[in-house]
Amino acid sequence: MGRLKEPNNNIRDMSLQRSPPTNGKHGEVKLVVLGRTAVGKSATVVRFLTRRFIWEYDPTLEFTYRHQVTIDEEPITMEILDTAGQENNIHREGHVRWGDGFLVVYSVNDRQSFVDVGHIKDYLDEIKKHRNVSMVIVANKSDLEHERVVSTEEGEKLATDLACAFFETSACDGDEQIREAFHELYREVRRRKALEGKQRRRSSSQQVKQVINKMLNKINSNHRT
Ligand SMILES: Nc1nc2c(ncn2[C@@H]2O[C@H](COP(=O)(O)OP(=O)(O)OP(=O)(O)O)[C@@H](O)[C@H]2O)c(=O)[nH]1
């Protein structure tokens, strides 16, 4: 996230912890917030963490926050990387490799930011080698109805095409949809990891069966000779 400019630099009062990214443990999830510059990534993260809206940010910096939260009665530690949205930053390989899930933000008054969502998804697929990328789409600045150039229906259709959840939000007006977007992203990561765990167990039990079959075949052929 952009660092809060003076005199609004009160973020420490809200018991947030900025921290270097870690490698992730059980009960921890690493989420990355991506999107074109000025779509409201920092405002969205700050709204989620503090339930407050703060107008001014330094747009060039990035931060990781650690946040304790209970989702579906499960205590979770979220690490949230708020990226800076300059052109080349949405294509930062390190961010993508680090993250378990991606909250991709566009702004309803910026069509190019909407177009970028598809490019970001392609990039995530490329880096994650098409292994079910966990992603949600957030259409921000819904309070700016008079400036809207991307309809809700277009956003919903894109989310259907990309097989991910869709939330229309205003970091300025409220936190319910933003909270739901982060929670749903966590659930999506949890579902994907459970699925991958099952596939791994299935393939390792298949390998054991193959080894046993080979041994039995060898024993049988030794008996015959
Ligand atoms: N009206 C309105 N303004 C918003 C909303 N969210 C963010 N903004 C404003 O949009 C501008 C950009 O917000 P940021 O949160 O800094 O955007 P960002 O995506 O983090 O920007 P970069 O760090 O440059 O990538 C700021 O002036 C915010 O006050 C919103 O929901 N509604």
Query: Is the Cβ atom of 2 under 6 angstroms away from ligand 1?
Result: yes
pLDDT at position 90 over 80: no
Span from the CA of 62 to the centroid of ligand 1 (angstroms) = 14
Span from the CA of 24 to the centroid of ligand 1 (angstroms) = 29
Q: Are 106 and 114 in contact (CB under 8 A)?
A: yes
ipTM comes to 0.99
Span from the CA of 3 to the centroid of ligand 1 (angstroms) = 13
* pLDDT tens digits for range 7-32: 233 333 333 555 554 444 558 999 99
Q: Per DSSP, what are the bridge partners of residue 17?
A: 66
Query: Is the Cβ atom of 109 under 6 angstroms away from ligand 1?
Result: no
Query: Is the Cβ atom of 101 under 6 angstroms away from ligand 1?
Result: no
Q: Per DSSP, what are the bridge partners of residue 184?
A: none
Closest CA to 49 of 204, 179, 192: 179
User: What are the φ/ψ torsions at residue 79 (nearest 5 degrees)?
Assistant: -105, 125
Q: Are 34 and 120 in contact (CB under 8 A)?
A: yes
* pLDDT tens digits for range 174-209: 889 999 999 999 999 999 988 887 776 666 667 777
